[in-house]
Amino acid sequence: MEWYGKHLGLKTDQYGSTFWWIDKEGNDCCTQWSPFVEDTTYFSPSEKQFMQNFRVANLELLLEKLKQEGVTIVGEMQVYDYGKFGWILDPEGNKIELWEPIDNAFQ
């Protein structure tokens, strides 16, 4: 993260850098960039070097629906003071993080 801050001017914190933007309807949106150390196991069981993170409206309901549809659920849902997290695998083995933030824009 330090390299990206120094050479590309990214403002980073412990989670990486947040890029704020406004969609065509005028809604506030963001893209989060979060690098991980080379030997991280956070993406397991995927062997990929990246992971997508999607904000969702009702994580518990979504995970149940995905399970019924045969989607691979990874681990158990985790709850923090800033939201709930769950993980799935897509057909190519990419791990996807699903995040229901406390300030959920969908509500």
The answer on pLDDT for 65 being more than 80 is yes
Look up the pTM and report it: 0.77
Give the domain ranges of the chain.
1-35, 38-107
- For residue range 44-61, list pLDDT tens digits in order: 999 888 888 998 999 999
Q: What is the pLDDT of residue 104?
A: 54
Of 3.40.50.2300, 3.30.2130.10, 3.10.180.10, 3.40.50.720, which CATH number belongs to 38-107? 3.10.180.10
Dihedral, CA of residue 7, residue 13, residue 45 and residue 49, to nearest 10: -10
3-state secondary structure of 44: coil
Rg (CA), the chain: 15
